[in-house]
Structure 1
């Protein structure tokens, strides 16, 4: 671990500082008049915001992450280039719109290429299952990018946890740590423009690559024995729990789950009057708690790790029930 920390000291803090500064500068530039001509999010009845806002903030994060990984962690070059490719495709979607089948096919090819070119020494069915989870992570990150500061905050805490875990693991991975730090730093710089009141939205060009990076780096760490398979699912548990439960509810109601809506738990919190800023801060507390719990669980035995994993998702379920009950009361009061 000492050699990993030493390697980190040479590259890690540089990656964080440079990524944060570059992302902030790029985000400031993107928030100018040019951004309005590229892609603008105009409020509609499904929106939580009330004024048109540029949605190309991903270009304040993704190029920084790609450059930082290629510079400081070249062994992860394929992950970086695929993230950049997904950002380019998603920008076309943001600007002109692409059929859902085209977008999904690109996601499948990205995940499949990663699994084929960098195979894991596990049963094929387990690797395929992890691939499906990676596809879900790509899309749920997009679903959860609907409130000021939320997706950027998840990136800060989630990839920050990846960084720490890659350093303290029994099989430390400096390249993985630097990559996580670059994404976390870029997210921090972006948050200056994205926290309420947001002057810039992430957009598909940001949320899709970030979802891919969350899955790809999580897979890479599992593949190399840096962390167990449950670790990424615990680190990004707030997003996974909200998006998964919301999707299941919509499927049970036979709704078109792929269409935009305002049924996520974070959206209900905003609509209940908590507001964007307080909703984001409360989610940050949950994100930080989950990340710290995941890091704590790394040092426990196998059954303890899974017990902690299950208990934390139980806590998230309880929080969801509380929001559901408040939402039902709100609807009843609104009908009177």
Structure 2
């Protein structure tokens, strides 16, 4: 009976996320916070930005059911609790606006608390790197939440890959929690795919990024996968956000300010549009996820080949987008 309840977790996560997100789309809802377009936005009409509330409600409901089924453990509970705390901070930021310093402090405290509860072993430098990685994952997911259907679809694909890999490793609790996150993202995506009726907002994007890192570490600690696995699964987001940040820093730009220079933003601006950009990203993410899962079942040499091929594909795609973008800008400047 308990296992049956736990198996229903993804279904409950989808249903709750769908229902809450639908409520957030209604103008009369107290969760109807509008995102006003600006010079850095890709949308042109005011759109509610509280879809993350639906995502978080769904995944937390599914997580509770996993715990009731007796398949949860401390790392999984801590990951969901940390995501819940970040969601509250994000909701407050979406509503009234919080300083970047306060948001960063909350993220550092959640990341540090999670690593302490996880009992991560290793030198202090490694633990520090993991903490920085968790904070960066939350922020990069937020940076990548800027086009219809992108962040929600990538969560659906990425956490589904986590669920498959965890199930193959016999980590049932981790598999069900990951499946619950994917299902909650799917419930939100119904309203977010182009043309989006609602955006995810900080209440969803930062917690999802944190969960990508937190569940990735939980899987490493349990022996379900090595550290490269979650990095490869979420490589499309990690590489886009990280390369963009580094290039902006090298140009002396204020990296904390909003901009439209991510690769996915360039694709939309060059005419590919929200829908086709999302579908291209889905294909790239699915390829990374499938490659990562397959790599877990082969020897070291083949793992290196798969990882190298995935990274090479991302580099080639990035180069081609850069080349097309330069031509686009030259064409736009030509009278």
In the superposition, the TM-score normalised over structure 1's length comes to 0.93
How many angstroms does 1:37 deviate by? 6.4
1:66 touches 1:83 (CA, 8 Å); kept in 2? no
Q: What do the CA deviations read for 1:99-126 (whole angstroms, capped 9, x no partner)?
A: 1111111111111111112212344432
1:35 touches 1:56 (CA, 8 Å); kept in 2? no
Equivalent residue number for residue 158 of structure 1: 158
Residue among 59, 62, 68 paired with 1:68: 62
1:157 touches 1:288 (CA, 8 Å); kept in 2? yes
2:28 matches 1:34:
yes
Equivalent residue number for residue 135 of structure 1: 135
**CA 1:36/1:198 → structure 2, altered by over 3 Å: closer, same or farther?**
farther
Equivalent residue number for residue 188 of structure 1: 186
RMSD in angstroms over aligned alpha carbons? 1.6
How many angstroms does 1:303 deviate by? 4.2
Equivalent residue number for residue 99 of structure 1: 99
Distance 1:34 1:184 in 2: 28
Distance 1:35 1:150 in 2: 25
Equivalent residue number for residue 302 of structure 1: 300
SS at match of 1:324: helix
**CA 1:131/1:302 → structure 2, altered by over 3 Å: closer, same or farther?**
farther
Equivalent residue number for residue 234 of structure 1: 232
How many angstroms does 1:38 deviate by? 4.3
Q: What do the CA deviations read for 1:80-136 (whole angstroms, capped 9, x no partner)?
A: 122111111111111111111111111111111111122123444323222221111
Moved more, 239-248 or 22-31: 22-31
Equivalent residue number for residue 39 of structure 2: 45
Which structure 1 residue ranges, 4+ long, deviate > 4 Å from structure 2? 35-38
2:13 touches 2:61 (CA, 8 Å); kept in 1? no
How many angstroms does 1:323 deviate by? 0.5
How many angstroms does 1:16 deviate by? 2.0
Equivalent residue number for residue 175 of structure 2: 177
Distance 1:313 1:231 in 2: 13
Distance 1:244 1:185 in 2: 27
Residue among 216, 221, 239 paired with 1:223: 221
Equivalent residue number for residue 3 of structure 1: none
SS at match of 1:33: coil
Q: What do the CA deviations read for 1:148-194 (whole angstroms, capped 9, x no partner)?
A: 0000011000100000000112xx21110010010000111111100
How many angstroms does 1:311 deviate by? 2.7
Equivalent residue number for residue 80 of structure 1: 80
1:221 touches 1:227 (CA, 8 Å); kept in 2? yes
SS at match of 1:61: helix
How many angstroms does 1:20 deviate by? 1.3
How many angstroms does 1:295 deviate by? 0.3
Moved more, 215-224 or 35-44: 35-44
Distance 2:224 2:124 in 1: 20
Structure 1 unmatched ranges of 5 or more:
1-6
In the superposition, the TM-score normalised over structure 2's length comes to 0.94
Equivalent residue number for residue 244 of structure 2: 246
Structure 2 unmatched ranges of 5 or more:
none
1:79 touches 1:216 (CA, 8 Å); kept in 2? yes
